[in-house]
Amino acid sequence: MLQNSAKTVLALAVLAAAGCASVPQRDVVLEDARVSVNAARSNPQIVTYAPAELDKAIVTLRQADDLAANNGRMSDVDQLAMLASQRAGLAQEAARARSEEAALMTQRRANDAQLTANMTRRQADAAQIQAADAQRQAEDAQRLATSMQPRADVYAANDYDYRRRQNERLYEANVSYVRAVVGPDQQRCWVAREQVDNRGSGINVPGAIIGGAIGGIIGHQIGGGRGQDVATGVGIVGGAAVGANVGRGPGTAVYTENVQRCELVPASARLDYWDVTYTFAGYEHRVQMTTPPGATILVNAQGEPRV
């Protein structure tokens, strides 16, 4: 009985050994490589930023699987599996570095765009300020030009009746511009008695030259030798003296006459009138007043001033 039991146990042991030999052993290195490569393939960051490195890892893992399926040497399979795992890790590192670089580039572009927008906004603000200043200057120039020109609705200080009519309703109009006006410079002329000297004065230079020449010719005709030279000199001097006095009238020619003289006299410091511009019912009016106005003036329904 014991012998039969021993045979039975031995037979079971032989069968178990045979069964284990028929089941292929699991390659841990290859399984780890397959997990690493599959994890890289499912990572969007690696797929986007490191596709070339990921393809190399996938190809290496496929080579390891093919070698294992063809009963290749286990050492060669493990070497290819480890290479596939390494390439999957390199793909992950490359994807991380490139994604960070891309994020920095995006941030830099955003900063540059913000700086450009800020500069454009500042330039627009400066242009708006300049436009507002130009508009104000244009309005001031227009108001000044309008105040200097005669207009149909200007009420003169001396020609217009400011008195209120019977039962006339009055309103207040805001004064927008006031200008003090003085009279222009005036010309003052008068007549004065002045002496006039009409006498000839000075030496007649052309007469002296001609007289000297004629005197020299006449003197040269007198005598001979040394005496002739002396006579020539005397003739030149005498002719020049006579010619210099030619044209000088005898006596005096001094008399008096009326002469008109004029000069500009500045206007007095007293103001002629106040040129006042006011707005009523959306229209601009002007009036010349003898006294300075306040912030408002009284007008009727047509905008005509009243006191």
CA-based max dimension of the chain: 207
Q: What per-residue confidence (pLDDT) applies to 55?
A: 95
* Nearest one of 192, 228, 235 to 211, comparing CA atoms: 235
Q: What per-residue confidence (pLDDT) applies to 161?
A: 72
According to DSSP, the residues that pair with 178 across neighbouring strands are: 276
Cβ of 233: how many Cβ atoms within 10 Å? 14
Task: Give average pLDDT by consecutive 10-residue segment, the chain, 307 residues.
Answer: 49 46 63 92 94 94 91 91 93 94 93 91 90 87 64 58 82 90 72 66 64 67 63 66 60 68 68 86 87 88 86
Contact 84, 61 (CB under 8 A): yes
Q: What per-residue confidence (pLDDT) applies to 42?
A: 93
* Nearest one of 97, 68, 62, 99 to 83, comparing CA atoms: 62
**Beta pairing, strands 296-299 & 171-181:** antiparallel
Going across the sheet that includes 296-299, the strands are 154-155, 283-289, 273-280, 171-181, 296-299
Pairwise CA distance, residues 98 & 41, whole Å: 17
Q: What per-residue confidence (pLDDT) applies to 259?
A: 76
Pairwise CA distance, residues 228 & 185, whole Å: 75
Radius of gyration of the chain (CA): 63
Q: What per-residue confidence (pLDDT) applies to 179?
A: 87
H or E element at residue 241 = helix 226-244
pTM: 0.36
Report domain extents, the chain. 2-114, 151-184+268-299, 186-265
